[in-house]
Amino acid sequence: MIDISERAQAHFLRLLAQQGEDGLGIRLRVVAAGTPSAQCELEFCTPSELQGDEWTVECAGFNLYVDTESMRWLDPAQIDYETTPTGSQLNIRAPRIKGDAPGEGAGLVERVQFVLETEIAPQIASHGGRISLVEVTAEGVVVLRFGGGCHGCGMVDVTLKNGVEKTLRERIPEVTEVRDATDHDTGEKPYFAKAV
């Protein structure tokens, strides 16, 4: 079930009114569903652009059409338009969009990779950085490599210990330590320059 708040419906209605086209709706679909890079896409659509097998969610003054293949990833989902002191933002919360977390029988590497890709990498990407798994040792030591804005960043040690390691150890008790294998002296565009 997709729950669309009244604020989100009002936001969509404003956007549709700005387009000045009768019968226009909103189409929602998931791109790269079931993977760590999954995301939702919204677009305006006319009835002639529909395939005919979409799920239709009737809203106040318009229809939201959900791509059939995407529906299983969006059940449940919540769409809200949130206002904060710094601005407003449309948020789509779909807990199943990236797939299900590895089960009890999953190996340590698979569980570490899942947490990295679904929780940690998006936060690091917000600063222009990248993170990749190099290895997980038999002793539970996770070795990572940073790139992008994290490569050469003056705050990478704080990110590693207070962010990445803390999250991994909370989610996966078998993780004993997290190490960085990146040569930060070769970084070209760090998010925070190192103090000289």
Looking up residue 118, the CATH number of its domain turns out to be 3.30.300.130
Would residue 78 count as lying in a domain? yes
Residues 6+ apart with CB under 8 A from 119: 167, 171
List the binding residues for [4Fe-4S] cluster: 150, 153
| Domain of residue 119, residue span | 108-186
List the binding residues: 150, 153
- Give the per-residue pLDDT at 26: 97
Instruction: Tell me: pLDDT of 16 over 70.
Output: yes
Number of domains the chain is built from: 2
3-class SS at 180? strand
pTM for this prediction: 0.58
156: its two tokens: 């990478």
Average pLDDT across the chain, whole number? 89
Of 36, 62, 93, the domain-final residue: 93
Distance CA 35, CA 47 (A): 30
Q: Peptide bond preceding 76: is omega within 30 degrees of 0, i.e. cis? A: yes
Residue 121 and residue 89 share a domain: no
Residue 76 and residue 112 share a domain: no
